[in-house]
Amino acid sequence: MHVLSVVGPDAAARAVADRLAKRLGEDGRVAEVHRTDTDVERHGGPAAAKFEFTQGGWSATGRDLSLSDLLDDLAPDHDYALLVGFRDADVPRIVVDDGSAAAPEGETDDRDETDEDEPDETLLAVDSPADVDPAEVRRLLDETDPYETLESLVARVKRSDDAPYAGAIATFTGRVRAKEDPDDEPTEFLEFEKYEGVAEDRMAAIEAELEDREGVHEVAMHHRTGVIEYGEDIVFVVVLAGHREEAFRTVEDGINRLKDEVPIFKKEVTTGEQFWVHERQ
């Protein structure tokens, strides 16, 4: 799933998101996520979440659902997610309005939330919604890294044309551990950088080679980049196969080859130091 944040005065950002949803919806399933100042707690009551079903479909409220939790839920079934009102989201974005004009009275403007840690992956900056070309945004967005989860990769392989012949799905998830030995300094986070272009091509080649094996129908792999904190997931390998033997063997070979052959570099930050792992090997 590709994620895009639309940043700017509320009315302008919503207008852009609606236009993009119409265009992107021609090629895939789109989710729009809008943040408002509504007090969710007053609708939720004592429960952690509340679900309602009407003629228009399901609606839900909840106090403990983060943006990343919501994206995790959307990823298996959507091709695009458009965010409005999430200026600090660490995802690609479009900036609407150059900041010279204030939002009309009564409207919110998420420019007020800017800070030094604001994400800088801006795909496009325009003065008004009319300046946004949905076809150009589609092209730019499809060049960004998708938002993947283990569940979204499993959903992908299940859509394979060979799914009727598959009796097994095996998966591997790599995560950030705090320490290997009791005396180690705890790891606070890892930071990953990839060799642009080369890493993607090599991973795709490994997937294709593994899929050539007898009994293996589909292989999907994804490695996150950027800062990943302790306890979070880093890398996924998913294999759709005829039987468990081929599935287990291919998952193990897949993660081993990814670690050995794909140029992704890791920096480890502990409570006492930070270092690039490949420089210590």
Instruction: Render pLDDT for 110-155 as a digit per residue (tens, 0 to 9).
Output: 544 444 455 568 999 999 999 999 999 999 998 888 999 999 999 9
Whether residue 46 is predicted with pLDDT greater than 70 in this model: the reply is no
For residues 118 and 88, is the Cβ–Cβ distance under 8 A?
A: yes
- What torsion, rounded to 10 degrees, do the Cα atoms 85, 118, 5, 236 define? -120
Domains and CATH numbers, the chain: 2-142 (3.40.50.300), 150-280 (3.90.1170.40)
Of these ranges, 22-31, 84-93, 232-241, the one predicted with the greatest mean pLDDT is 232-241
Average pLDDT, the chain: 86
Q: Could you tell me which of 238, 216, 214 has the C-alpha nearest to residue 162?
A: 216
CA 18-159-138 angle, 5° bins: 30
3-class SS at 62? strand
Overall average pLDDT of the 50-56 stretch: 73
3-class SS at 110? helix
Residue partners of 125: CB distance under 8 A and separation at least 6: 94, 95, 98
More confident of the two residues 78 and 61: 78
Of these ranges, 84-88, 207-211, 272-276, the one predicted with the greatest mean pLDDT is 207-211
Instruction: Render pLDDT for 173-216 as a digit per residue (tens, 0 to 9).
Output: 999 999 888 888 899 999 999 998 899 999 999 999 999 999 99
